[in-house]
Structure 1
Amino acid sequence: MLYKILIDPFVQMGAAPDLLVQTLWEGLVGGVLYALIALGFVLIFKASGVFNFAQGIMVVFAALTLVGVYEALSSWGVPRGMLAAYLALAVAILVMLGLAFAVERVMLRPLVNQPDIILFMATFGLTYFLIGLGELVFGGNPKRMIAGDLGLPSGSYDIKMAGGFVSLQKIDIAAVIIVSVMVAGLGFFFQRTRIGRALRAVADSHKAALSVGISLEQIWVVVWFAAGIVALATGIMWGARSEVSFSLQIIALKALPVLILGGFTSIPGAIVGGLIIGIGEKLGEFYWGPLLGSGIESWLAYFIALAFLLFRPQGLFGEKIIERI
């Protein structure tokens, strides 16, 4: 039994390198999408110091808004196609901007300087509000993502390598490119701009930020809008791989082990943590799944995160907090 668990999977990797490359590629794509989900959590946490439980439903709500507006435009006589898709995308972006203003005005502004647990519980309320609003407006049935109308590619490339063929889905390649550009842009914005520096000041202390003239209202709107755009991109990419439904918010919970690995305040950490979880899941599912059970993909990420917690609780890129008494 120990041979099958500790040695045989590595023998299989060496015997069929093309399957190993295929598994690594699928894990890389999944890891990039996990990193995109985690990025939305990181943005909110950096601005408020609070874990935004509503990020998962924001992914679903943004994707449902895009598809719902597209269907509404079609029913109003706008021909289906790229024009209607990008009109729906523009409306979805405006909706996420409106949500950012509403969250700042209704939820965050009254809770300035309140304990973090209060803000955390407020994100629970926001979660169930968006679930109810989404079901009321768009219904509870799964919907097809309009990936083709948005110009996202379909099909695959079959490349001969490693003694066999590796299939690369075109939508996966597009996802990796789009996520890479988004992460680079957000990283530059929050590291090199005045608003980015103000964001870090707000994360350190609301009172100190207010004392030097930083507008909490402006920072929170910018950050929640950025998190909304990330949620919309996440919903498009995950929806294109399956479909748009409320079950997508369960996938967002995979951001927890990603954040534990990378650190709650680190954008590079979200990327590295996502890749570790994505690749680790696929390798575990393909090589160890038949031995440990087909449900390994549902718990392996949390096991990896637990192992990291034992040795580095702040994550790979997290900051050590030293309190002097």
Structure 2
Amino acid sequence: MGFFLETLFGGLMAGMLYSLIALGFVLIYKASGVFNFAQGAMVLFAALAMARFAEWAPQLLGFDNKILANLIGFGMAMLAMIAVAWVIERFVLGKLVNQEGITLLMATLGITYFLDGFGQTLFGSDIYKIDVGLPKDPLFLFESVFQGGVLISQEDLYAAVIAAALVAALSLFFQKTATGRALRAVADDHQAAQSIGIPLSRIWVIVWSVAGFVALVAGMIWGSKLGVQFSLSLVALKALPVVILGGLTSVPGAIIGGLIIGVGEKLSEVYIGPMFGGGIEIWFAYVLALLFLVVRPQGLFGEKIIDRV
């Protein structure tokens, strides 16, 4: 039972990080109808920016203070993501209003390769370190209940708490603030939102900036765990099955979908993997997403599209 709980907790914590990345996909799709294939590249770009700015900060300050360097790195990386959001709206989305969905998808693919290349041109292509002080030592829980206790990674636990807090804050932002309500109005009907004076260009810059902030936090957490390297953009692709499972237009769906994927892949790898020689964790999420596309293509919480002819 103790080993099962270890696997379950590990899956929940990984799932919360998947949910955080998936939230970036959902935010942009809700506000602009664009499936942002560039979210993974945004995670990599943001993590590279933070790692390098934090590394350069002591040289600018003249003294080495890790906390201050990380704060400067985070702030400068956030400014970079806002600049990316403005450039995308000004030179890409603003030119493709009312275009077909496949055109917008191809545009985000172009943004993906641009960010991958431009980020490595600006910040380098080595493996960089982000150290935000997350504890690395394991934690043993329920030692009086299970022999040896339940082993939990403190780093994963703190990362999951940060991700959960950010998801909750964004949910409140959408529900309680005027800007959040404007974002939801744009998501429901672009033309109706424009007719009541909501500027689409400003809303798109805001939502891409928020998605950039989400990408930065995700990149910071994954960069702390794995190092900042090209594989971060591949980790972000794990969020694709999450949004298919939860629904492209649902913030709660991104959360539930991430938890299901995280727990499912861990349990399947541990309990079913030995029967197939392992490796189930790599493809489990995509097979589950494929099944949902066949049975319920709108996802668990997505809106069902009905075409009347």
The separation in 2 between residues aligned to 1:78 and 1:117, in whole angstroms, is 50
1:68: which partner in 2? 52
The residue correspondences of 1:153-302 to structure 2 (distance < 5 A) are 153-159=135-141, 160=143, 161-302=145-286
The separation in 2 between residues aligned to 1:251 and 1:87, in whole angstroms, is 26
Name the amino acid aligned to 1:294.
G
- Contact kept, 8 Å, 1:61 with 1:134, in 2: the verdict is yes
Q: How many residues align?
A: 306
Instruction: Provide Cα deviations, 1:95-118, integer angstroms capped at 9, x if missing partner.
Output: 111111111111111112222222
Name the amino acid aligned to 1:26.
G
Q: Identity of aligned pairs, percent?
A: 54
The separation in 2 between residues aligned to 1:125 and 1:244, in whole angstroms, is 22
Instruction: Provide Cα deviations, 1:31-82, integer angstroms capped at 9, x if missing partner.
Output: 0011011001000000111110110010011011001011112334331411
2:79 is the alignment partner of 1:94: yes
2:68: which partner in 1? 83
The separation in 1 between residues aligned to 2:297 and 2:118, in whole angstroms, is 37
- Contact kept, 8 Å, 1:62 with 1:92, in 2: the verdict is yes
1:139: which partner in 2? 124
Instruction: Provide Cα deviations, 1:3-40, integer angstroms capped at 9, x if missing partner.
Output: xxxxxxxxxxxxxx111111011111110011011001
Name the amino acid aligned to 2:140.
D
Deviation at 1:310, TM superposition (A): 2.8
- Contact kept, 8 Å, 1:26 with 1:282, in 2: the verdict is yes
How does the TM-score come out when normalised to structure 2? 0.95
The separation in 1 between residues aligned to 2:96 and 2:165, in whole angstroms, is 34
* Gaps in structure 2 of 5+ consecutive residues: none
The separation in 2 between residues aligned to 1:294 and 1:285, in whole angstroms, is 6
Name the amino acid aligned to 1:154.
K
2:93 is the alignment partner of 1:111: no
The separation in 1 between residues aligned to 2:164 and 2:71, in whole angstroms, is 21
Deviation at 1:261, TM superposition (A): 0.9
Instruction: Provide Cα deviations, 1:106-153, integer angstroms capped at 9, x if missing partner.
Output: 1111112222222211111111111111111121111111222xxx33
- Contact kept, 8 Å, 1:62 with 1:231, in 2: the verdict is yes
The separation in 1 between residues aligned to 2:5 and 2:206, in whole angstroms, is 40
- Contact kept, 8 Å, 2:14 with 2:160, in 1: the verdict is no
The separation in 2 between residues aligned to 1:70 and 1:271, in whole angstroms, is 30
Deviation at 1:162, TM superposition (A): 3.3
2:112: which partner in 1? 127
The separation in 1 between residues aligned to 2:148 and 2:43, in whole angstroms, is 37
SS in 2 for 1:157: strand
* Gaps in structure 1 of 5+ consecutive residues: 1-16
Deviation at 1:306, TM superposition (A): 2.0
2:305 is the alignment partner of 1:316: no
The separation in 1 between residues aligned to 2:150 and 2:222, in whole angstroms, is 22
Name the amino acid aligned to 1:277.
I
SS in 2 for 1:164: coil
Deviation at 1:288, TM superposition (A): 1.3
Deviation at 1:198, TM superposition (A): 2.1
Report runs of 4+ in structure 1 exceeding 3 Å deviation.
161-164
SS in 1 for 2:150: strand
Deviation at 1:235, TM superposition (A): 0.6
